[in-house]
Amino acid sequence: MTSTVLDGVLCLLLVSAAVVVVTTATPREPTGEGRAADVASTLTTTTTSVNHTLDPRTGPTGVGGSNRSDAFDRTDHGTLATLLARAAVARATIDGERLWPARNDFGRAVVAATTAAIRPNHTLITATWRPYPDSSIRGRIVVGSRPPPDRPVHAATVEVSSGFPTVRDDARRAARSDKIEGVAGVVAGGIVREIFPPTHTRISASGTSPEAALVRHRYRRVADHLGVSPPPRPASGDVNDANDRLEAALSEQVARDLHAANASATTAAEEIRLGRVRIVVRTWP
């Protein structure tokens, strides 16, 4: 089945069109596998569809049940760069712990699709979602292997929408009024509201369908990582109140990261990258 509105909650992303910036830097052009900028161009212009299956029956907060349901089958479509960005976000961790292992198959499918479109023998592609520098919340996916240490490397950088809102202007205002804690609150709010938009969460979590169980599973898993008690059934409780608790816990985590970086609130606000995924392409002869 194709992705639906439910996947905006299940898959974390309400995907917008990719805005791409490519930069290159090299003292010497590689040969054989092509220039990094050419590979980057392929990523941003080649569109494809990937089929994958969600597997929420992982860990103590799993959906449960042993019968596979085609309700968990998904198809994602987009440029390779957009798919890499989604896969990086889908592999998000907090302090190294995966939040959504149900999306493992999606990452594998994106790697396979990317490998089919480029020759990865002399190419390394790394897509990284990091909402701010030194963030304990991050996602990453890699295609290819590291270059040999004795080879000249050509690099190109592509920036693609992460699916999360661009909150830098809000962060700047918060920095002036509430310092680091204000910046942290903006970042946490942007993450939680995108993952669990209240209206869609209430509707999607209703009933006994596999999709509803999957939404509740995601809610429980994120709450468990943040040390927050989730509502027994998001559809029957006040999702806004539940989201407020998630935001407060996540805001504390972000504030700890920002304080540890020892930067001013103004600097922290300028460095917010919540809405972007950075894709680095490296090639060598």
Considering the domain architecture, whether residues 207 and 253 belong to the same structural domain is answered as: yes
Considering the domain architecture, whether residues 146 and 189 belong to the same structural domain is answered as: no
Q: What is the pLDDT of residues 88-139, one digit of tens each?
A: 999 999 888 888 777 788 999 999 999 999 887 899 999 999 999 999 999 9
Considering the domain architecture, whether residues 66 and 203 belong to the same structural domain is answered as: no
> What pLDDT was estimated at residue 13?
36
Q: What is the pLDDT of residues 65-85, one digit of tens each?
A: 444 556 688 899 999 999 999
Considering the domain architecture, whether residues 102 and 231 belong to the same structural domain is answered as: no
Contact at 8 Å (CB) between 53 and 75?
Answer: no
Instruction: State pTM to two decimals.
Output: 0.82
In a domain, 27, yes or no: yes
Query: How far is it, in rounded angstroms, from Cα 190 to Cα 9?
Result: 14
pLDDT at 146 over 70: yes
Considering the domain architecture, whether residues 244 and 198 belong to the same structural domain is answered as: yes
Considering the domain architecture, whether residues 100 and 52 belong to the same structural domain is answered as: yes
pLDDT at 31 over 80: no
Considering the domain architecture, whether residues 20 and 153 belong to the same structural domain is answered as: yes
Considering the domain architecture, whether residues 86 and 177 belong to the same structural domain is answered as: no
> What pLDDT was estimated at residue 233?
62
- Rg of the chain (C-alpha set): 20
In a domain, 127, yes or no: yes
Considering the domain architecture, whether residues 195 and 96 belong to the same structural domain is answered as: no
In a domain, 1, yes or no: no
Looking at the 3D structure of the chain, how many domains does it have? 2
The answer for residues whose C-beta is within 8 angstroms of residue 4's C-beta and 6 or more apart is none
Q: Which amino acid is at 35?
A: R
pLDDT at 220 over 90: no
Range of the domain at 231: 168-270
Considering the domain architecture, whether residues 150 and 11 belong to the same structural domain is answered as: yes
Considering the domain architecture, whether residues 150 and 237 belong to the same structural domain is answered as: no
3-state helix, strand, coil in the chain (%, to 5): 45, 20, 35
Considering the domain architecture, whether residues 176 and 151 belong to the same structural domain is answered as: no
Question: Hey, is 66 helix, strand or coil?
Answer: coil
